[in-house]
Amino acid sequence: MSTPVPGPVRPPARVRPDDARRALVAGSVGNFIEWYEFGIYGYFATVLAAQFFTPVGGSEVEGLVKAYASFALAFFFRPVGAAVFGRFGDRVGRRPALVLVVCLMTGATAMIGLLPTYASIGAYAPWLLTLLRILQGLSAGGEFGGAVSVMTECAPPGRRGLYGAWQSFTVALGLLAGAAVAVVLASVLTSAQLHAWGWRVPFLLTLPLGLLALRLRLRLPAEEPPARVRTGPPAPGPPRPRPRETVRAVALGVGRVMGWSAAGYTFLVVMPSYLQSTLGTSFQRALLGTVLANLGFAASILPAGRLSDRIGRRTVMVAGALLTAALALPLLHLVQDPDGPTYVKGAALFAAGAGVGLMAGPGPAMLAEMFPARVRCTGLGLAYALSNAVFSGCAGLIITEVVERTGNVDVPGYYAATTCAVSAVALLTLRGDDHERALR
């Protein structure tokens, strides 16, 4: 059983094609900015650790752990943002919520690029960075629920999986854009220049991107807030969702996407720092490897979303979870082999990203189908944010710390495989025909 939250059944509203495309673009741009920002923090983690978390004479590994602790802390504020902005989106409207979160995200990210470092203001520097990370976490938590709700609610019949997949696809584009900027800067600047001022550039680039996203979101059509829509007498339809049922659905949603969250961050974001700190790979080569993983991720997302519209979310997502669980360690061993051909390592990283994409493509639509409109922003946003807080935000911290303490370089593979195996079990509870049912 899929155990969705019951709610009032409403006939699906007709959405004009222009409004559907506008909703798709406006939702996608915000996701692009969010994940571009989270990507560059991960890609520049070793640089940020040196600039903000490592005093003179301090340990580089200790600084990296602190940098990832700040990274993780922001993720734990994402559920708060999901609850606050999700409730706002359900009661006031999707458009006002999406406008607020993109303003908050853009402002906080641009300010990171202006922060003084540890060398300038001492211990205040990491605290200021962490405060801005918290603001980013709040806005990112509200972004997913609002964007996915808009995308899936405006999707034409039979294309909800594809429209929802654009959320994940713009995640891949954001991560790729962040990696591309990092590669360019690492190639044209010296190490001293990169540490002195070059790391600020990718954060400041979010300002024009954010203004573009704001303009697009202000053009979204106004809608009546779902929580205020009258659905007629309660007798003909199912009862309104109860808090206990919503909590149960959120918990089940966390289980269904935990593999996507953990494996995604392991292979797509944390990998550069792992390759540098554990395997001694250069900054440039580590970033290029991550670009390949993100290309694999991007290549499989939209086909997976479209396929899930044809054969169901369960089949595609379970296949992705099982493949990633089975291949995580073998693929990692190929990357670790010092004598292995470069093209083999590149293919392994590409395949790892593609496996995550099979889960990420249908994932947004799957979550949207679990909740009725009046709690959709809040419910799917919380499920996604909680999963990311526990299994994504802590990925870098857990992997770096456990590898440092145990010396076991296979930790990333075990982490991804275990979470994907648990996710596969939770995904088996999906109904095979969820993709054919109208959103409630």
**pLDDT tens for each residue of 246-256:** 889 999 999 99
Query: pTM of the prediction?
Result: 0.78
In sequence order, what are the residues at sequence separation of 6 or more whose Cβ sits closer than 8 angstroms to the Cβ of residue 374?
A: 7, 8, 90, 226, 227, 229, 240, 241
Three-class DSSP category at 220: coil
The CA dihedral of 48, 275, 359, 363, to the nearest 10 degrees, is: 0
Task: For residue 321, give both structure tokens.
Answer: 């979870």
Task: State the CB neighbour count (10 A cutoff) for residue 125.
Answer: 18
Tell whether the model's pLDDT for residue 58 goes beyond 60.
no
**Positive or negative CA dihedral for 384, 145, 307, 429?**
positive
Higher pLDDT, 232 or 289: 289
Tell whether the model's pLDDT for residue 7 goes beyond 70.
no
Mean pLDDT calculated for residue range 153-177: 86
The DSSP letter of residue 45 is H
Mean pLDDT calculated for residue range 205-217: 87
Tell whether the model's pLDDT for residue 382 goes beyond 50.
yes
Average pLDDT of the chain is 81
**pLDDT tens for each residue of 185-198:** 888 888 888 888 88
User: Across the chain, how many H-helices and E-strands are there?
Assistant: 20, 0
**Range in 173-187, 317-331, 410-424 with the lowest mean pLDDT:** 173-187
Map tokens 């922060």 to a residue: 115
CA–CA dist 304, 146 (Å, integer): 22
CATH class of 17-223+242-436: mainly alpha
- Specify whether the CB–CB gap between 245 and 6 falls below 8 A: yes
Mean pLDDT calculated for residue range 92-98: 86
Residue 227 pLDDT level (bands cut at 50, 70, 90): low
Q: What is the pLDDT of residue 367?
A: 93
- Specify whether the CB–CB gap between 162 and 306 falls below 8 A: yes
- Where along the chain do its domains lie? 17-223+242-436
Mean pLDDT calculated for residue range 30-50: 78
CA–CA dist 205, 311 (Å, integer): 40
Mean pLDDT calculated for residue range 318-347: 83
> In terms of Cα–Cα distance, which of 85, 90, 117, 88 is closest to 101?
85
Q: What is the pLDDT of residue 230?
A: 45
Q: Which amino acid is at 105?
A: M
Query: Between the CA of residue 82 and those of 106, 282, 342, 376, 383, what are the distances in Å?
Result: 17, 37, 41, 11, 9
Q: What is the pLDDT of residue 361?
A: 93
Q: Angle at which helices 160-188 and 17-43 pack, to 10 degrees? A: 40
Task: State the CB neighbour count (10 A cutoff) for residue 96.
Answer: 17
Name the range with the highest mean pLDDT among 188-192, 271-275, 279-283: 188-192
Q: Which amino acid is at 229?
A: V
**Positive or negative CA dihedral for 32, 216, 147, 72?**
positive
Q: What is the pLDDT of residue 11?
A: 39
Tell whether the model's pLDDT for residue 13 goes beyond 70.
no
- Specify whether the CB–CB gap between 440 and 10 falls below 8 A: yes
Higher pLDDT, 66 or 111: 111
CA–CA dist 333, 410 (Å, integer): 8
Task: For residue 377, give both structure tokens.
Answer: 């922003």
Q: What is the pLDDT of residue 321?
A: 94
**Range in 33-37, 150-154, 157-161, 384-388 with the lowest mean pLDDT:** 33-37
